[in-house]
Each structure stands twice: as C-alpha cells, then as structure tokens.
C-alpha cells in the first residue's frame, strides 16, 4: 500500500468589488481557467477567494484573471 502525498497548494486572496453571487461566479470562472487550478471558492460577503491548485500560482496570473472578471485583487488574506 502506497500513501499519496497531497502536494496541492491552498491560497486565500482578498478581492474587492464582489457584492453578489454573480460576482462570485465571475471570479470563480476566471480563476478556474488558470492552468493547475483544482477548485475556487469566492465569498462576496468577506471578499475572500480560496484557490486550491497543483502548485503555487504566480500573483500576476491571479491578478490578471481577477481583473478580467472586473474586480480588484488586493493581496492575500
């Protein structure tokens, strides 16, 4: 029996401008399209977006995806 090591990376980002479920969906869709992203959970109420990926993502790639969705990445939580 071989145990697999979970090497996924979980990062929480701060995003401003999200106010509703549509906003969450737009941010989720853009970030989910980045290579290596396994899951995205955006929460408008807190402005937090949790991204699980195969490896750490480049901040400029995350910023570009959030910008494309129409919101602003303000950093990591």
Where is 23: in which H helix or E strand? helix 21-32
Please name the helix (run of DSSP H) or strand (run of DSSP E) that holds residue 52, with its range, or none: strand 48-53
Angle formed at CA 57 by CA 54 and CA 12, multiple of 5 degrees: 90
- Whether the CA torsion 74, 13, 17, 34 is positive or negative: it is positive
Q: What is the pLDDT of residues 9-61, one digit of tens each?
A: 999 999 999 999 999 999 999 999 999 999 999 999 999 999 999 999 999 99
Element (H, E) at 67: helix 59-69
The encoded tokens of residue 18 equal 């999200």
pTM of the model: 0.91
């Amino acid at each position: 029996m071989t145990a697999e090591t979970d090497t996924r990376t979980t990062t929480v980002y701060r995003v401003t401008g999200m106010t509703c479920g549509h906003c969450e969906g737009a941010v989720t869709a853009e970030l989910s399209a980045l290579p290596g992203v396994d899951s995205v959970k955006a929460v408008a109420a807190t402005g937090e977006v949790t991204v699980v990926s195969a490896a750490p993502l480049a901040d400029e790639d995350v910023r570009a995806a959030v910008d494309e969705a129409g919101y602003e990445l303000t950093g990591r939580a």
